Structures are given as C-alpha cells and as structure tokens.
C-alpha cells in the first residue's frame, strides 16, 4: 500500500488528527497571549490580595493564568468537536449543539463568579477603609456583610446563566438581606446611638476643640469631635469617648 492510497483510505482520520493538533497549538498560543494581555491590562494587580488570588495560589497558579488556561481549554474542546465532526458527523452535530448551547453560559457564569469574588473583596476593603476611623468593635460586621452580599448576587447571576432555578435563592437572598439589616442594627446599636448623639453635639456645639471637659472620670482638653466619638487628652493620655456616652453621662465643661 503506497502513501497516496493510505491517505485516501484514512483521509478523515488524518484530517481529524491535523485539526486536533492545530487546535492544541492554537490553544497554547491563545492561552499565553491572553495571560500577557491580562497582565498588561493590570488584571493581576487588581486581584492581588483577594480571596480568588489566594485560592489560585494555593493550587500553584494565579487568577490570570487560570483564566487564560480556561480559554485554552475552550479552544481544545472546539478542536475536538470539529475533529469528531469529520470522523462522525452525526455524533459531532449532536455534541456541537450541546457544546455551543451550554459552553458560552458556563464561560459567562465563571467570569461573573470570579468578578463577584473580586468585587466582594474590593467592597469589603473599601467599606473597611471608610470606617477605619470609627473606633467601635461592632463596626467590623458591616464590611463582611458588604462582601458576602456582592458574592451572593454574583452567585445568583452565575447560577441563572447555567439554567438553575434561582427563585428559591432569590427568596433566600431577600431573607439574608433582612437578617443582615436586623443583625447590623443590633450589632451597631451603640454606633447608631453614637452617631445620633454626635449629630446633636455637632449642631449645638456645647464644647469645641481646645475646651477642657470632664465625662464621668475622664478629663482633658478636646482634640477632636466627629459624628461618633469625642477625643480628649490629658497628660499624655488620650480618651476616645463614644458620643452616646457623653449624652448619657453628661459633660462638664471646665472653665479656668
């Protein structure tokens, strides 16, 4: 049997093998290019320190490398389906319908989930940064609630892309929001009371910066008055007094 006869008899299989080889080569090139593009766009820096990046590093990779690898896997899958289409058109046609109908949704769901995880981490950091000056331990619940709210919404969108019925999850999310509001109010009741008292103090100004005041057994000159706390200092000792304590205990303004 000469080469031409062998090629003629096995043309479909040879063509399928060539398609698979080209697909794998294209997938490798696309994976490397996508990783470089994402690094050039600063995606790696954007996800640095997030839970997604930490999880990826636990598996010996990075977020950008994983996303780029997934893009390569997609190309590999398309190449395999095309090769099957050459060898067995009926099987490939049925498989192609399934892949083209479901794979884009899987890709979108994956992207939404990754973006949601990153956005959740960023939301937690942003809220924590805004509340950094509030010296109340209960305030820590708010950044965490913000993070998981964003992640929950992303998970709902991702599941809806996969065709999963999300009605029950939407109801659960509504219940979660209601519970989060109640728990936040309970956990931050002192904060809310301090804020209300702080607004009153800022509007009425019973004392100002530089005045010497006494609240319970704490006495010193006022350094700062904000919505939540009053800071006073005496002989190198700084007191951070929640404003609701000022309102409840009363304040004595010391006049020399």
Question: What does the alpha-carbon distance between residue 223 and residue 233 come to, in Å, rounded to a whole number?
Answer: 7
Bridge pairing between strands 252-254 and 218-225: unpaired
Q: Which SS3 state, helix, strand or coil, does residue 215 take? A: strand
pLDDT at residue 137 greater than cutoff 60: no
pLDDT at residue 231 greater than cutoff 70: yes
More confident residue, 10 or 137: 10
Q: pLDDT digits over 55-114, tens only?
A: 777 777 887 888 888 888 888 878 887 887 777 776 666 666 666 667 777 778 888 887
SS3 content of the chain, % helix, strand, coil (to 5): 75, 10, 15
Sheet holding 237-242, edge to edge: 237-242, 229-234, 218-225, 212-215, 252-254
Question: CA 21 from chain center: how many Å?
Answer: 38
Average pLDDT taken over every residue of the chain: 79
Q: How far is CA 248 from CA 8, 134, 176, 240, 244, in A?
A: 95, 19, 34, 15, 6
pLDDT at res. 17: 85
pLDDT band at 194 (very low <50, low <70, confident <90, very high): confident
Overall average pLDDT of the 220-240 stretch: 86
Q: What is the 3-state secondary structure (H, E, C) of 90-112?
A: HHHHHHHHHHHHHHHHHHHHHHH
Q: Which SS3 state, helix, strand or coil, does residue 163 take? A: coil
């Amino acid at each position: 049997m000469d080469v031409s006869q062998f090629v003629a008899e096995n043309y479909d299989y040879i063509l399928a093998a060539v398609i698979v080889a080209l697909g794998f080569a294209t997938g490798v090139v696309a994976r490397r290019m996508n990783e470089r593009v994402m690094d050039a766009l600063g995606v790696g820096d954007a996800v640095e320190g997030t839970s997604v990046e930490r999880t990826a590093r636990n598996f010996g990779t990075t977020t950008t490398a994983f996303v780029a690898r997934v893009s390569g896997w997609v190309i590999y899958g398309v190449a395999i389906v095309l090769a099957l289409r050459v060898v067995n058109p009926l099987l490939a046609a049925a498989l192609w319908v399934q892949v083209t109908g479901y794979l884009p949704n899987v890709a979108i769901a994956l992207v939404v989930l990754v973006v949601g995880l990153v956005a959740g981490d960023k939301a937690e950091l942003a809220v924590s940064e805004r509340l950094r000056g509030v010296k109340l331990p209960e305030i820590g619940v708010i950044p965490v609630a913000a993070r998981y709210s964003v992640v929950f919404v992303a998970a709902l969108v991702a599941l809806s892309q996969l065709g999963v019925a999300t009605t029950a999850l939407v109801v659960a999310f509504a219940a979660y929001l209601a519970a989060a509001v109640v728990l936040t109010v309970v956990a931050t009741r002192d904060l809310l009371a301090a804020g209300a008292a702080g607004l009153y103090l800022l509007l009425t100004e019973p004392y100002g910066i530089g005045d010497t005041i006494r609240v319970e057994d704490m006495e010193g000159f006022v350094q700062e008055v904000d919505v939540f706390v009053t800071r006073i200092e005496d002989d190198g000792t700084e007191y951070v007094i929640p404003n609701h304590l000022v309102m409840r205990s009363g304040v004595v303004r010391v006049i020399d």
